[in-house]
Amino acid sequence: MDINEITAVVEAILFAGGEPIEGGRLALAAGIEPVELGEVIAVLEKRYSCEDCGIELLHLEDCYQLATKQKFAENIKQAFEIKKNTALSAAAMEVLAICAYNQPVTKSFVEHIRGVDSSSTVNSLVEKGLLCEAGRLELPGRPIAYKTTDAFLRSFKISSISELPPIPEQAEQITIDEVLAEESGQLSEE
């Protein structure tokens, strides 16, 4: 097969799959070596990079997926009568941050960091597809560990967890006492 045929095969697999497909599995299904997949992916990325194309190729960790471009989201919602996405609560964002930076994590780990019961928030994020079960830990009670999903990566428009910004060093962080002192100093000046 020539590059055009192989590209068409990979494109068809990605289109039919709908979900992210691991690169090695994609290469195997297309009948090519994993090293050849890079060239095919480059052809597809070039094909979908034009402004008037409604599709884009997503690279999520070691997986690939075809998706519609974000600028057409409203049109797609209207066509399929999709309800408007609701913003995540502050608690949900906290839980996602804890999971993303420390994964895999248990509910008790998240609760220890947050200082409050987080079971319903974790369960809600699992229902939304942003977190998933990552197995059970070899600890008493065999607690379930959770990790972020490809939907998490798509939602935050990143390809990999490694693209998350670094956590500030302790010395760079400001305490609530410093914020309150600064605010009270500003108020007394007025």
Segment 67-102, tens digit of pLDDT:
998 888 888 887 876 665 678 899 999 999 999 999
Domain 3-73 has CATH 3.40.50.720: no
Query: With contact defined as beta carbons under 8 Å apart, do 124 and 91 qualify?
Result: no
pLDDT score of 187? 52
Angle between helices 90-102 and 119-127 (to 10 degrees): 80
Range(s) for CATH 1.10.10.10 in the chain?
3-73, 90-172
User: d(Cα 3, Cα 58) in Å, to the nearest integer?
Assistant: 20
Q: Mean pLDDT over residues 179-189, rounded? A: 65
The string of pLDDT tens digits covering residues 132-180 is 999 998 888 899 999 999 989 988 888 899 999 888 776 766 777 777 7
Name the percent of the chain lying above pLDDT 90. 49
Task: Report the side by side order of strands in the sheet with 144-148.
Answer: 105-106, 144-148, 131-136
CATH number of 90-172: 1.10.10.10
Name the percent of the chain lying above pLDDT 70. 91
Q: Which residue has the higher pLDDT, 44 or 190?
A: 44
User: d(Cα 68, Cα 86) in Å, to the nearest integer?
Assistant: 20
Q: Mean pLDDT over residues 107-135, rounded? A: 92
pLDDT score of 138? 87
Q: Mean pLDDT over residues 104-109, rounded? A: 92
pTM tops 0.75, yes or no: no
